[in-house]
Structure 1
């Protein structure tokens, strides 16, 4: 019997005065954090919310996210974290689909009215009985029926007896577009989440004396498991960043002597661009304290990885995972050779193989779809048995990613199965084209997609963001690519753009480019 919140309680007992959270000027110890969590758990319990019932949480990276997340765990309920960018109709869909009985929502600002959209969604979801507002403005703006999170913190009991859970009891439901179709909830167990946090702690060698930084949103699986839950497990301090701004991130890393940094490739690209523009910005001091940088969420361009390691004198370890695998499934290990471009090897207790379209394992070195089995594989998509059956076949999670193994068991992601471009019978992997373009001195960021062609079926199109102060034409970039790529892989169309559509976690939304 176990509950994810036990990790917090353990540190509140053994290291009560250690700093747990740092947010702007605020510092919260483990003892204080546990007491705040207990106060919210007490009030949730008073609403008569039962174990296994669902509570949605819409909040940016502030202490309230961590407090609410662990309070929901303490009462034995299931957390449904929501993307803070969702509008009213989208919030309503998630509340209805997850059977959420309550929504805890951050109020936000006029520029980002999270609470307004949250309340809109709540009023359209009949099953959802309670709306709890985390106020950031005068109380007069609070809907009459809303509970006040801030008042709960002041009036709730500082002690609370945690509801114990079994290993297979649900812990969180993470919404994802998944490997097939529209948004659906990946249902993850207590065991899934605990094992993943333990694996991440071992991978990154995180201790209670370390300091990690949350630049990824905590509502997303990567930020939640690899950053928040791992820090709380290790008893280390966690610096919360509510919005990714490279200058702020660099300042916070320096000020709080951050040892562990995790992000997606676009964040590393942004930090690298800032470092190049401001070479004196604490880089030497940061290099002395930063122990490891962790990249995931998408494939890191090899050129970016090399430059980041060179600039900050820190090892960058690249890993792989998805919401359906809790999320971490494979990683490069600090004690072994790190191969640029590789996602490393499977976690202990996780088995991976590469299969063809008929589900047969292919020889080493050959490309195919990655399938996963182990303690990290989700219970299934919530209330979607048919979708689950398409994704988990005979116990194996089908990822939709094309990979290959080398002779030493290192895995290389070639591309997404659904992003493969087939032109005149040739297979073209967008990532290969993107890697080439990322080595061009004027290119800041690139996304490659397939567009329709009457004769060849598809052809290659690239969208490029140039580095600040650089100038080059579309024709010149296409011409340059012909020196580095086979003709059939070269973009036939190329647009230089100011920005690319991205998710809240910094992943490029290629479907929006089509």
Structure 2
């Protein structure tokens, strides 16, 4: 039956599209695989009928563990039209799946991966399992018997939050949440039936899921890809010729790092916009993307609980601000203090939100609801501020802030400073435990291809970008930075990830003494002798080599201050930048000699 009003459920979106654009391509996958609107509707109905035949009732929760492809899209649309879809990361382990199945109240599993950990977990829990066969994209569909009575407040999807410090919470997204979320995205990006979206984001994450639904809702063409590959991405651009693409901030940095290699493909692109979400995008990356592709970057701030989008950077000719995540897009936003009171314009506080796309409560979690919701507003757990023009600036997660001796430091500020160093492709600052400060700062970086990691040069660069106490005590090189299944850079828990790697010395693991030969006692350089005495007192270390690094011996911002005060008392004119640039006895002695010659 034709829909006389705007579609408000997943099924109505698919049905309306089939009526309006029956022969128009709806979905594509690399290699020439395409599905048209009418076939998409029929295939989605087939999924619903298979669930009904298996004894699933409307509203029952069906876990979806799918490899990336057109079937992944179809199963999500079909399952959410009839039941409640629970898309999960296929790379999860057996115990994770068992937890999800129990916590989410899953009644059945659909998968196209026969020997997966999900299947093992389902068998253990005696859940029925449907292994995807040719009933989805092959044979004539059996869609006639399926009927849909979904209402706007019925639950379409249940997704886990993407937190890394505790068990994820259950986010029940109603058809209404999804509809209004898709409307907000469509309006912010000015989506139309002429648009072709290339998405590298997985459907088990709200970013990929909502971009897919928003594109189909607008009548556009959705191009889904295998798991992201920095080289394949440019081949996908060449194959699909999209009008826009979407990716997480971490993946955008990979794209920037590979663009020079594919100049011919880049030159042919006529992108209308680039969308970035899932994590803050450094200003430098935004500027590089716009130079490379000649298209505006619409950075968005969102979360699972808001059906993805909370803010979006306006598209030209509207005013934009680099470094901001844009203006509220279909939601109301407040910035509040710890007491829940609104703070003055431009002041930092917690971001809280409310809107038709925002959930009203987590599933089966009264404690989380008590902490996270207040008078209809959701506490995001993010720190930020709103300027006088209504632009929102996110400064980081409250739980990710580094408390260094009582000084609250945003790791994002450090990330952005490191990314301004020309040889760094990716960077992430994180907290490490410290016996005196409570927490200290470390950082991991990925160096661009063909460049060489040089911690001293990076540290020297940072002295001109950051206050001395914000410079990481240890910077290490990594081939790749840990990410979540959705492509977000992990931050919380990185100390545990890196502490056993060769070359990483966390402040907590430093010892007061080191078994090193003391060949400095015979030094003829008076400055070196004075410096050694100061280091011994400040660091509590007797054995010192000329090339020992102050920070590797346990130096931190508190000890930097102690050292500088002691040096000044002994007549040595050493500044914080000197120590960060040359954190060794030999290096500092050379600086003092140069200063002496210049009469400083």
Q: Which moved more, 1:295-304 or 1:198-207?
A: 198-207
Indicate the residue corresponding to 2:329 in structure 1: 347
Identify which of 90, 102, 105 aligns with 1:99: 105
Indicate the residue corresponding to 1:131 in structure 2: 129
- The CA distance in 2 between the partners of 1:379 and 1:49, in whole Å, is 26
- The CA distance in 1 between the partners of 2:339 and 2:409, in whole Å, is 21
Indicate the residue corresponding to 1:26 in structure 2: 33
- The CA distance in 1 between the partners of 2:454 and 2:423, in whole Å, is 11
SS of match in other structure, 1:381: coil
Indicate the residue corresponding to 1:117 in structure 2: 117
Indicate the residue corresponding to 1:3 in structure 2: 9
Identify which of 21, 42, 62 aligns with 2:69: 62
Identify which of 258, 264, 267 aligns with 1:284: 267
- The CA distance in 1 between the partners of 2:196 and 2:370, in whole Å, is 41
**Could you report, residue by residue, the CA deviation over 1:270-311 in whole angstroms, capped at 9, with x for unpaired residues?**
11111123323x11111xx21110011001010010011001
The total of aligned residue pairs comes to 487
Q: Confirm or deny: 8 A CA contact 1:89 1:120 kept in the other structure.
A: no
Indicate the residue corresponding to 1:137 in structure 2: none
Q: Does 1:39 align with 2:46?
A: yes
SS of match in other structure, 2:445: strand
Q: Confirm or deny: 8 A CA contact 2:441 2:473 kept in the other structure.
A: yes
**Could you report, residue by residue, the CA deviation over 1:39-90 in whole angstroms, capped at 9, with x for unpaired residues?**
2222211123111110010113311111111211332x11101012112221
Q: Which moved more, 1:435-444 or 1:503-512?
A: 503-512
SS of match in other structure, 1:278: helix
- The CA distance in 2 between the partners of 1:173 and 1:105, in whole Å, is 17
- The CA distance in 2 between the partners of 1:345 and 1:324, in whole Å, is 18
**Could you report, residue by residue, the CA deviation over 1:294-341 in whole angstroms, capped at 9, with x for unpaired residues?**
011001010010011001101001111111111211111215212111
Q: Confirm or deny: 8 A CA contact 2:351 2:383 kept in the other structure.
A: yes
TM-score by length of 2: 0.78
- The CA distance in 1 between the partners of 2:147 and 2:237, in whole Å, is 34
Counterparts of 1:394-473 in structure 2, within 5 Å, are: 394-473=375-454
Identify which of 85, 90, 95 aligns with 1:89: 95
- The CA distance in 2 between the partners of 1:44 and 1:415, in whole Å, is 42
- Structure 1 residues 180, 190: closer, same or farther in 2, change over 3 A? farther
- Structure 1 residues 179, 444: closer, same or farther in 2, change over 3 A? closer
- Structure 1 residues 150, 117: closer, same or farther in 2, change over 3 A? farther
- The CA distance in 1 between the partners of 2:262 and 2:53, in whole Å, is 52
Q: Confirm or deny: 8 A CA contact 1:317 1:331 kept in the other structure.
A: yes
- Structure 1 residues 44, 149: closer, same or farther in 2, change over 3 A? farther
Deviation at 1:254, TM superposition (A): 2.2
**Could you report, residue by residue, the CA deviation over 1:217-254 in whole angstroms, capped at 9, with x for unpaired residues?**
111001101x2101111121111101111222212222
Deviation at 1:353, TM superposition (A): 0.6
- The CA distance in 2 between the partners of 1:430 and 1:158, in whole Å, is 52
- The CA distance in 2 between the partners of 1:412 and 1:386, in whole Å, is 29
Q: Does 1:164 align with 2:149?
A: yes
**Could you report, residue by residue, the CA deviation over 1:369-399 in whole angstroms, capped at 9, with x for unpaired residues?**
1011111211422211221221112211111
Deviation at 1:490, TM superposition (A): 0.9
Indicate the residue corresponding to 2:320 in structure 1: 338
**Could you report, residue by residue, the CA deviation over 1:440-496 in whole angstroms, capped at 9, with x for unpaired residues?**
111111010122222222221111111111113212212221122111111111111
Q: Which moved more, 1:388-397 or 1:13-22?
A: 388-397
- Structure 1 residues 426, 436: closer, same or farther in 2, change over 3 A? same
Indicate the residue corresponding to 2:371 in structure 1: 390
Whose strand fraction is larger, Structure 1's or Structure 2's? 1
Q: Which has the higher contact order (CA 8 A, sep 6+)?
A: 1
SS of match in other structure, 1:279: helix
TM-score by length of 1: 0.91
Q: Which moved more, 1:114-123 or 1:31-40?
A: 114-123
- Structure 1 residues 285, 503: closer, same or farther in 2, change over 3 A? same
Identify which of 67, 72, 85 aligns with 1:79: 85
- The CA distance in 1 between the partners of 2:453 and 2:236, in whole Å, is 35
Q: Confirm or deny: 8 A CA contact 2:49 2:146 kept in the other structure.
A: no
Deviation at 1:3, TM superposition (A): 2.4
Deviation at 1:152, TM superposition (A): 8.7
Indicate the residue corresponding to 1:504 in structure 2: 485
SS of match in other structure, 1:494: strand
Counterparts of 1:285-304 in structure 2, within 5 Å, are: 285-286=268-269, 289-304=270-285
